[in-house]
Amino acid sequence: MLEYWTRKVAKALFILAASTAPAFSDSVLTFKVGYGAGGITDIAARVISRHLPNHIETYDQAVVENVPGAGGIKLLRLSASPKAEAQDTAYFLAFQAISSGALDDIENGVTPARPRFISALVSDFPGCWVAADSPISTAEQILQDGVSYGATGRGSSGYRFPASFRSANKLALDVVTGYSGAAETFAALERGEVDVVCLPPLDTTNLRRIGYFGPIGHTDESGLPNLTDLVADDEARALTELFVFQAMPVFVMFMSEHASEQAAEALRAAIANMIEDTAFISDFERAGYVLNPTSAQELDRLYEKFAAMSPETIERLMHLIE
């Protein structure tokens, strides 16, 4: 474990050093991250902040500002405010937080905000992990009374997936919340505080993947079981599949709905160039991430799917994860 965290600290210091160079111009793009400093989204944003100015003429540098709170919902609300620094600010959140905000708005009779999506640089099926020395060896073993799961909060995918099992399969699962982010949740798993963690695939070197959540009936080349198919009730399984699509895009960059489409297009073009840059790819992979981008158009389509949900469907979703 010491080697794992030594590698983590070295990685964080490398990224922090790379993204705190002194300013030489007033032409600055601010990246606001909805999670704390040193977390997985923060580190990814700092890698991007180092390289993106090389691909956009508008800005000479990019800086990172952390705005943690409410699992990213605080930043989402800030980005929708009329006072948002629309033209020179981009925001980083998991798609989970963005779509959850839309669902909350619909449930409360409010028209959801319309983020101007730029890109998501990592997208993959979420899964469940156990510690390397865990006695758990099969997916069926994580679906037993008394198994504990770790999560940041009730709105996170780390909570929602085990909650789906707990409700649909009528299990006495314990979901421990309060961890500040994915890195801390995985650390708790290594320390033995919880038995299982279900999150998007990030830096999980010292952990063992026990299964993944994919679309209903999907099979994966890894040979691991599709955990969505283990949700007992047909309706609950279909609702759980919605959480799968919610959890897949990670490190989503977007601008405020008050930003101009011209500003958003300039950022999209810069990102498209940057992800072809071997120097960026090297730094991104060195930070522990696998580049698998999702376009703004695909993010728009996915967001529309959640924003168009009926109050009845949302009520069933919320009941499933109580």
pLDDT in tens, 60-100: 999 999 998 877 888 999 999 887 777 899 999 989 889 88
**Which residues make beta-bridge pairs with 294?**
120
Q: Which residues contact 290 (CB under 8 A, 6 or more apart)?
A: 122, 124, 201
Which residue, chain included where needed, has tokens 């952390």? Answer: 66
CATH 3.40.50.2000 fits 2-124+248-320, yes or no: no
Distances (CA, A) of 273 to 52, 263, 268, 269: 9, 16, 9, 6
pLDDT tens digit string along 43-53?
A: 999 999 999 99
Quote the CATH superfamily of domain 127-245. Periplasmic binding protein-like II (3.40.190.10)
Residue pLDDT, tens place only, 112-147: 889 999 999 999 899 999 999 999 999 999 999 999
Kindly report the pTM of this predicted structure: 0.83
Structural domain boundaries in the chain: 2-124+248-320, 127-245
Report the greatest alpha carbon distance in the chain.
59
Q: What is the C-alpha to C-alpha distance for residues 301 and 307, in angstroms, rounded to an integer? A: 10
Three-state secondary-structure class, residue 201 = coil
Q: Computed from CA positions of residues 47, 52, 58, 60, in that sequence, does the dihedral angle turn out positive or negative?
A: positive
Question: Can you say whether residue 70 is alpha, beta or left, with left for phi > 0 and alpha for psi between -120 and 50 degrees?
Answer: left
- Tell me which H or E stretch contains 121: strand 116-123
Residue for token pair 């799917």: 305
Q: For position 37, what pLDDT does the model report?
A: 85
**1-48 pLDDT tens trace:** 433 433 444 444 444 444 444 333 458 999 999 888 888 889 999 999
Helix orientation angle between 234-247 and 311-320, rounded to the nearest 10 degrees:
90
Specify which residues 91 forms β-bridges with. 32, 254
Rounded average pLDDT over 191-197? 97
Q: What angle do helix axes 95-107 and 296-307 make, rounded to 10 degrees?
A: 30
**Domains 2-124+248-320 and 127-245 fall in the same CATH topology:** yes
Hey, what are 82's tokens?
Answer: 């009329």
Collect all residues with Cβ–Cβ distance below 8 Å to 250 and sequence separation of at least 6. Answer: 41, 94, 95, 120, 121, 122, 123, 124, 200, 202
